[in-house]
Chain A
Amino acid sequence: MRLARACNWLGLLALLAAASLGLRGDATPAARYQTLGHKLICMCGCQQTVLACNTPHCSWRGQMKAELKSDIGKGLSDSLVEQEFIQQWGTLVLAVPHQHGFGLLAWVMPWLAALAGLSLLVWYLRRGARQAPAPAPLSEAELERVRREVAEQEKDR
């Protein structure tokens, strides 16, 4: 039982540890251009980010890239650059929702659902284990058969 509980916690910890990986920041203007360029959607309708858009003769990509370079050059912070773009095109320009306000709901809901599902699962497993009858003792003949098969298996390993 203790082992089972430990496994449940380990599973949860593994999930959370994996989720928290990969959080790092970039500082140089070139790195910021790369990061922000992949956070903004090109407005040509390709549904790709500004830096990934490859629509032939796209009339938006160049303009958006130039604005991004100019904003970074002016020393605007990442959030101010994003705000500049939102002012111009609305929230549609962001590749992912904001982590505040209504956008936060997008990020939180999958994890809340996972947590609720996991709680239900752990409850179901514990209830099942509590209600399970104790295993019936094996007869001597059954024990002999199992010993024989285990010995066979060990020989083959």
Chain B
Amino acid sequence: MQSFGAFVLLLALVAAAYGLLAGGLGIWLRRPRLLASGLRADLATFPLVTAAVISLWGLILRNDFAVAYVAEHSNRALPFYYKLPVLWSGQEGSLLFWSWILSGYAFIASLTSARRHPHLRGLAMTVLAGVQVFFLLLNNFAARPFATIPVAAPADGNGLNPLLQYAEMIFHPPMLYLGYIGFSVPFAFALAALIRRYPGDRWIHVTRRWTMIAWLFLSIGIVLGGLWAYTVLGWGGYWAWDPVENASFMPWLMGTAFLHSVMMQEKRGMLKKWNVWLIFGAFLLSIFGDFITRSGLIESVHAFAQSSIGNWFIVFLALLVAVCGFAFWRNRDFLDSPARLESTLARESGFLFNNFIFLVLVFAILWGTMFPVLSEWIQGQKITVGRAFFDRINVPVFLFLLLLTGVGPVLAWRRTSAASLRRNFLWPGAAGAGLFLGLWLAGIRNPYSDIAFALGLFVTIIIISEFLRGARVLARRGGISLARALPQLVMRNTRRYGGYIVHLGIVLLFIGIAGSGFNQSLQAAMPYQAHMRIGPYTLISESYTENDNPNYSSRSMIVQVDQGGQKVATLYPARRFYKASRQTQSMVAIHTTALNDLYLVYGGRDPQTGQPILHAYLNPLMIWIWVGAIVLVLGTLIALMPSRMNPGAGPALTAAAQSAEAVEAHS
């Protein structure tokens, strides 16, 4: 199976390289048959890489420790369900996983674009074949997942890193990879459209749609990563501005900027050059993120071991920048736009400010991430850039972005009057200011958090009034209830109202994040029947328990949680010792309510007294981060659905829908 895996992986490289060469030559020499054969080779790459992936999984399941990757990352006692993430737990396997997802995306993109974008398909698939060749070169020569151990196979493997033995780790990396790699498809279509000078704006629709898919997966991946950090790492937080976290966040920000500014191209034919560079940027940042994670350039809890693979990435990134720059320079006139801004107070300027903020965030995060490397190069001494730096720089910028989330959607295209601004913003603004004052007077004082709560209310009121305004028109004209009109309104313009739902999700996320301004934490020795008070809770150390199985042994504290004299929960914070890897790992215990999370970490025994140590954290409003993420995903799914002008309504409702559309266009 090992030889078969290595063989099909090599065949996949040959197929992808043929797809690149035949596709490129077919387009250049105008030989349709050569291009068609290249496209068939591209399609063949997916089943070949799939066969390689199945082979590696087979080797992992069979505990074939003659294969170095299996010996390094798995062991006999590892439960079946954790053998799945072994595929992406190490450098070689995760690169194979990357190639697999890329080939899957290329396969789907090739099939779906054959009828809709036949003239763009050839070059777009050739670009994807180029990206695929790079990763398959890595799989075959730089990070070989099927390499065998030169000496006799060990009786057992080193086991999976304990940090990865959690349910979140089964889903988080695939989602993240689907996001990262997903940006390859819009990149390929944008580059192909630029090189071919593809007429019209149809290419921008396919690019936007694929970007939304990648963005959706990346969003899910980032949130699951936060959930993993929160429930596994045991420091009470979910985001530490770690370089690898930043690496995933930068393409997300760039993709978000693109999804906003692309509307200006679709509605007004503006910002074509800007949009092309945004989508190039999102893809380049995803490759850059992969580079810093794998090269050992930066230190991170998530990074793979240091290796020479970084040199491959540097060459590839340089090549990509050169290709993008050259294609843009040759065809820049194709992206000229006759449309001009008509007023500084219009939705267009709102989008420009939005893009400006996203770009400032990308720059600040990139700068902070790379500053330690830069300082070492220039000064010879590494300067750490930790969480406090990113918080201090980014939090005010994020608050400004939250403000724009409310302002942007109610600005009219082309020109907005001062009267319209007053009408739309007076009450939401007054409500937000009132909430800020109320919180401050009530003694709930944290400037950034209070501003975030106030802006959250401001944005929510604006979004809800947008929904109500449209639904009222539909309800009155169609003679239906408001409750029936609302879903029809959403289905009539899924992109617009799906976008508003995404914004509501963002507001909830901000509220959850703002809660961290009021976090509390305590640490104490907790002998039998000892008490600890934190926030509204009293914690009582009840007992201890031990457990042993072939994979790990564990020791748990049993903590009773009382609130107002009533028992509300029993929590079991634990510590596990994984036998194969000989590593210890904390198992966090969390009691969640709508207002706060009680988060307990068993800190082991005090070396002097032998008493168990308990770390307790009270994290207000945490649940709203996860709820916000679910709302965001829901909104994106709605935005991806096709709009229906007449969702099961009669002729009267259709007329009402058209009329409401006309009114909205002027509002």
Contacts and interface: CB of A to CB of B under 8 A. Distances in A.
A51 B240 CA distance: 14
Interface in A115-140: 117-118, 121, 124-126, 128-129, 131-133, 135
B403 to A, nearest CB: 7
Interface string B252-279: 0000000000000000000000000000
A132 B234 CA distance: 57
Which of A45, A54, A146 is packed against the most chain B CB atoms within 10 Å?
A54
Contacts of A114: 360, 363-364, 397
Contact of A121 (B235, B342, B353): B353
Nearest to B396: A18
A113 interface: yes
Interface in B354-371: 356, 359-360, 363-364, 367-368, 371
Contacts of B300: 47
B3 interface: no
B344 A8 contact: yes
Contacts of B345: 3-4, 7
Interface SS of chain A: helix
B666 interface: yes
B561 to A, nearest CB: 21
Interface stretch (B173-181, B379-387, B623-631): B379-387
Given A48-B235, A110-B393, A125-B344, A39 B388 contact: yes
A112 to B, nearest CB: 10
Interface string A74-108: 00000000000000001111111110001100110
Contacts of A18: 395-396, 399-400, 448, 451
Contact of B341 (A22, A129, A135): A129
Which of A1, A18, A98 is packed against the most chain B CB atoms within 10 Å?
A18
Interface string A13-38: 01100110110000000000000001
B352 A21 contact: no
Contacts of B667: 153
B442 interface: no
B181 to A, nearest CB: 27
Interface string B487-518: 00000000000000000000000000000000
Contacts of B472: 156-157
Interface string B624-667: 00000000000000000000000000000000000100110011
A67 interface: no
B360 to A, nearest CB: 5
B161 to A, nearest CB: 14
Nearest to B465: A157
Which of A46, A47, A107 is packed against the most chain B CB atoms within 10 Å?
A47
Interface residue tally on A, bucketed by range = 35 or more
Contacts of A129: 341-344
B448 A49 contact: no
B562 interface: no
A124 B343 contact: no
B353 A47 contact: no
Given A56-B586, A132-B341, A97 B299 contact: no
Nearest to A16: B396
A149 B666 CA distance: 8
Given A54-B234, A56-B575, A46 B301 contact: yes
A41 B384 contact: yes
B520 to A, nearest CB: 12
B603 interface: yes
B389 interface: yes
B584 A56 contact: yes
A47 B242 contact: yes
Nearest to B399: A18
B400 A149 contact: no
Given A15-B396, A15-B400, A54-B615, A47 B240 contact: yes
A90 B242 contact: no
Which of A1, A21, A124 is packed against the most chain B CB atoms within 10 Å?
A21
B378 interface: yes
A91 B383 contact: yes
Given A15-B400, A118-B356, A132-B341, A91 B382 contact: yes
A25 B349 CA distance: 39
A128 B300 CA distance: 45
A128 B584 contact: no
A121 B400 contact: no
B205 interface: no
A146 B666 contact: yes
7 contacts: A7-B344, A21-B451, A22-B447, A96-B392, A110-B393, A117-B359, A152-B473
Interface of B: 233-235, 240, 242, 299-301, 340-345, 349, 352-353, 356, 359-360, 363-364, 367-368, 371, 375, 378-379, 381-389, 392-393, 395-397, 399-400, 403, 415, 418, 447-448, 451, 469, 472-473, 476, 575, 584-586, 601, 603-604, 615, 659, 662-663, 666-667
